[in-house]
Amino acid sequence: MIKFSRHILDNGLTLLCSYDAGTPFVSVNILYKVGSKNENADKTGFAHLFEHLMFGGSLNIPDFDREIQLAGGDSNAYTTNDYTNYYITVPAANIETALWLESDRMLNLNFSPQSLHVQQQVVTEEYKQRYLNAPYGDIWLRLRPLAYKVHPYRWPTIGMSLGHIEQATLEDVKDFFNKYYTPDNAIISICGNITEDKAVALVKKWFGDIPPAHYRKPLLPAEPKQQEARRLVLENNPVPADMIWKVYHMGNRLSENFYHCDIISDILSNGQSSRLYLHLIKNSGIFSDVDAYVSGDTDPGLFIFSGKLSEGVSVEEAEKAMESELEHFISDPISERELQKIIHKTEARICYSEISYQTKAGNLAFFEFLGDAGLINCENKKYEGITVDKLKNTARELFRPENSSTLIYRKK
C-alpha cells in the first residue's frame, strides 16, 4: 500500500506527498488537467505544443534545462488526450530548485514571438517526420476520425492539422495557457526523501501566491453509440507490409468494463504464450506482428488490434483470421488457470510500479486526476474480482461488427 497525504492550497493547487527514506532523490510531478480533448476543433495540438513551450524558458529562468543539469537532475514531459504531465527528479538537497523552476513557468512562462516560432518549427518537424513521412505514421490521423465522429478524441495529441500549429498566434497560446496552466487546474505529487511538513512548506512558499484562474471547462460532447461497421482502405502506400488496424469502443478508465478489457487484451496478446501470438504468428504465420491493447482514456476509449501481415498473405485472409480469434474467445472455454495467470501478471506489474519513487509520483497524480489518489491502492482488488463469465459477457458486447472501425494499409 502506498502511504500519502493530500493538501489543498488556498489557490486550489492539490499537493500529494509520499515520503520514501530509501532514496537520496525526490521526484516532483505536476499534472495539468488539460489534454488534446480540451482543444477547440479549429485549434488543435495546443496541449502538445505547450509540452515544448514549457521548456522554452520563463521570466527568471531563460534556460530551463541548464538549471536542471546544474542541480544534478533530469526532467521530461508527455501529453495525452486527457492531461499533460511534467516531472523533475533531483537530489533531495536540491528540491527547491525543482519547485522554483515549476512555479516560475506556471506564473511567468516566456511568451515571446521568438520562443513561439522556435517551438512551432520543432513541432512542425515532428509532425512531418513522425506522422506524415514515416511508414504507418498517419495511423491515428486516419483512425481516430473514423472511430469518433463527435467527441474530441477524434484527433490525436499532435493535432488534427499541421496548419493549426503553424497558424497559432501569440494571443492563441496565451489564452490557452491562462485557462489551463494554473494552480487550480494542477496536481503536484512529490515522492522521495522529503518529509510531508517540509514538502508542504516549500510548495506553499513557491506556489501559494500564484492566482487561480477559476476557469470552468465546457462539457464535452458524448460520442453516440456506433451503429454500423466503419472501414477505410488506403491503397498503394509506401509501407513495408500490408497492415490491419481494428478498434472497438469500450468503457472509460474508471469503469468495470476497462478492467475486463484490460485482461482480455492480455489474454489475447501478452507474451509468446498469448492466443494471438500462438495462433496468428507461430502456428499459422499469417502475421509477422500482432498486438491488442486498450487506450485507457478517462472518457470511453478504444480496444485496439493491430497486425502486420506476412509476405504473400492476403488482407482478406488475415482479417478473417483475426476476427475468427475474437469469435473463439467468445465461444471457447477460458480456463481458470489462463485467467489467473494474467491476473497475477497484472498484479505483479502494479506492485513493481510502486517501487520507483518517480513512477509512484506520476501514478499518484494520475489517480488524483481520476478523482481520488487513494484509488491507487485499490487496483489489485479490481482485477481480483474478474471472472470468466464477466470476460465472456464483456467480449460478446465489445466485439460486435457494428462496434468496429477498421483501417487497412495496402502496400504498393
The predicted pLDDT at position 182 comes to: 98
Asked if residues 215 and 185 have their Cβ atoms less than 8 Å apart, the reply is: yes
170 sits in which H/E element: helix 170-180
DSSP annotation string for 181-239: SSGGGEEEEEEES--HHHHHHHHHHHHTTSPP--PPPPPPPPPPPP-S-EEEEEEEES-
Report whether 388 contacts 330 (CB < 8 A).
no
pLDDT at 407 over 90: yes
Q: What is the per-residue pLDDT across 120-176, written as a single tens digit (0 to 9) for each?
A: 999 999 999 999 999 999 999 999 999 999 999 999 999 999 999 999 999 999 999
C-alpha–C-alpha distance, residues 137 and 234, integer Å: 13
| Neighbour tally for 319: CB within 10 Å | 17
Nearest-CA neighbor of 290 among 304, 300, 311? 304
Residue at grid coordinates 502538445: 48
pLDDT at 323 over 90: yes
pLDDT of 39 over the 90 cut:
yes
Distance of CA 242 to the CA centre of its chain: 27
pLDDT confidence band for 412 (50 / 70 / 90): confident
**The CATH number fitting domain 230-411, selected from 3.30.830.10, 3.40.1210.10, 3.40.50.1390, 3.10.180.10:** 3.30.830.10
Structure pTM? 0.96
CA distances from 156 to 131, 224, 225 (A): 10, 19, 21
If we measure between CA atoms, which residue out of 45, 403, 31, 40 comes closest to residue 220? Answer: 40
pLDDT at 400: 97
- Is 3.30.830.10 the CATH classification of the domain at 5-207? yes
Is 412 in contact with 237 (CB distance < 8 Å)? yes
Looking at residue 236, its pLDDT comes to: 82
Q: Check pLDDT > 90 for residue 352.
A: no
Please determine, for residue 393, whether its predicted confidence score (pLDDT) is greater than 90: yes
What is the rounded average pLDDT of the residues 44-59? 95
Q: What angle do CA 129, 140, 312 make, to 5 degrees?
A: 85
User: Are the CB atoms for 78 and 84 separated by under 8 Å?
Assistant: yes
Position 362 pLDDT exceeds 90? yes
Is 18 in contact with 206 (CB distance < 8 Å)?
no
Query: Start-end ranges of CATH 3.30.830.10 in the chain?
Result: 5-207, 230-411
The conformation of residue 356, written as its DSSP 8-state character, comes to -
